[in-house]
Amino acid sequence: MYYRNLEALGYGEEEIQAIAAEHEVTDGPDEEGEMFERPARPSDRFVAPFPNPQAARAANNGALPPDLSLITKARAGGPDYLFALLTGYQEEPPEGVEFVEGMYYNEYFPGRQIAMPPPLFDDAVEYADGTPATVEQMARDVVTFLSWAAEPEMEERKRLGIKVILFLVVLTGLFYAVKRKVWSDVH
């Protein structure tokens, strides 16, 4: 995904530039042949949250975070599974459940134990329109974004599909009318 893709979500050009400029990207080489850091532009890819896989593992209890750009298409249940996963953390596992140290209990994750700590907490963000920042609301927003990121062209494809179906219905009607006209004098 590129920062410019945020335009499809309703962001204006200035907003996209401001969002991109909050991040630094490596560019170059310059006249001396050296790489340098610069603010990101709308034409740049989203900046990864970690500089390398080792840093990602260190920050995530030894587990390498997956690329989630296609997660809603890759998992059975897609968006529903992801929403359940984000909201399925429990402080304590049920009685009788063997629990590995350093793992977190999530009733929707296969095996019920996950290395990723709960990523969402109440009031972790502030919505401009005053929407309460509950775990469920934030999970819904994350799932909506990841669904869009997996298929940013889906809405356009569906609109085109409706137009094609309507065209085919009209064309079928015309073909039927022409067939009746051409064969009307045959007994």
Residue 101: name the closest of 115, 111, 87, 88 by CA.
115
pTM over 0.75: no
| The pLDDT of residue 66 | 80
Does residue 153 have a pLDDT over 90? Answer: no
Most distant CA atoms of the chain, gap in Å: 88
Provide mean pLDDT across the span 19-33. 90
| The pLDDT of residue 102 | 81
